[in-house]
Copies of this chain bind each other. A is one copy, B any other.
Amino acid sequence: MKAGNPTGAVATPGPLVMIAGGGDFPPRLAGILAARGERPYIAALEGAADPAAFGERADVRQYRLGQLGSLLEELRRRGIADLVMLGALPRPSFGSLRPEVSTLKYLPHFAKAFQGGDDHLLRGVVRFFEMQGFRVHGPADIAPEMTAPLGTLGRKQANSEQRSELERGFALLATLSPFDVGQAAILADHRVVAIEAAEGTDAMIRRVADMVARGRLKIGKGDGFLVKVPKTGQDLRVDMPAIGPDTLRHIAEAGLSGIGVRAGAVLVGDRAALGRQADQLGLFVEGFP
């Protein structure tokens, strides 16, 4: 998985900590590792990850963001130097961190990282752990089977007209990248109808559904596409775009026809399950080079 492994770090790290946010991806990665006989230490972030989701046999402890100091101490005690971060995180306000005493000394590093786009914040987080001596791995390095493959996930595939619309969407997102914005967009009716910024992909899809419901937007049969790709320079180790069952459901509810993503660079979780869901909903979900 070259795309997710810009540093060339080894794909089979030593004792591993997974810093886990919300959603299905962290438990899924833990499951994939367990099937390989690996048992990572799981730091489940309070308010985001549910420790119970990792099963009874998982080595999991809950941490607040403000408990960074405790986490580092525990990782050192365990001799863990390999790290993967995965799952949805609410963008916290710097003021809401409630840092414990052993975390206070790290705050100056993060104070600056909090000013700027998500890219900027996450780059700051990666740099922090690297400065602390950790190797930061991407989920795609550790479990490439969690990303979108090249080609379609289900039976449906974009036809040539749909594909040319998707290419226009990919070009649009590439153009937005230098502004640290634009991970996703929706094209319909031969135009760009929505561009994602701070609201997130799901809110953008709901907006399109709402425009359709109010008659402001007409989406014909076979029309309407979500495109989602990483931003250029986005660090796929800690900030990989993702689609999941909710994305597909919302896309179908909005009356759209399919999803185009960058193969190997967008998390999908369970490829087979998502492919089955795509077939049930009559959508194409396809990875492009």
Show the binding face of A for B, using Cβ within 8 Å.
Answer: 91, 93, 115-118, 120, 168, 171-172, 175-176, 178-182, 185-186, 189-195, 197-199, 203, 207-208, 211, 215-218
- Known contacts A180-B191, A185-B197; 13 additional CB pairs below 8 A are A116-B190, A172-B179, A172-B181, A175-B176, A175-B179, A179-B192, A181-B191, A181-B192, A186-B197, A192-B198, A194-B197, A194-B199, A199-B211
Copies in the complex: 2
On whether A198 and B217 interact (CB within 8 A), knowing A115-B190, A117-B191, the answer reads yes
> Interface majority SS on A: helix, strand, loop or mixed?
mixed
CB distance from A190 to the nearest CB of B (A): 5
Among B91, B181, B195, point to the contact of A197 (Cβ < 8 A): B195
A274 to chain B, nearest CB (A): 26
In the complex, what residues of B have CB within 8 A of residue A181's CB? 172, 191-192, 195
- Which partner residue on chain B sits nearest A193 by CB separation? B198
Residue of B with least CB distance to A191: B117
Contact B193 A197 (CB under 8 A): yes
Q: Considering the chains assembled together, what is the distance between the CA atoms of A175 and B165 in angstroms? A: 19
Give 8 pairs: A residue, B residue, CB < 8 Å, sorted on A. A91-B216, A115-B189, A179-B192, A193-B198, A195-B195, A195-B197, A198-B216, A199-B216
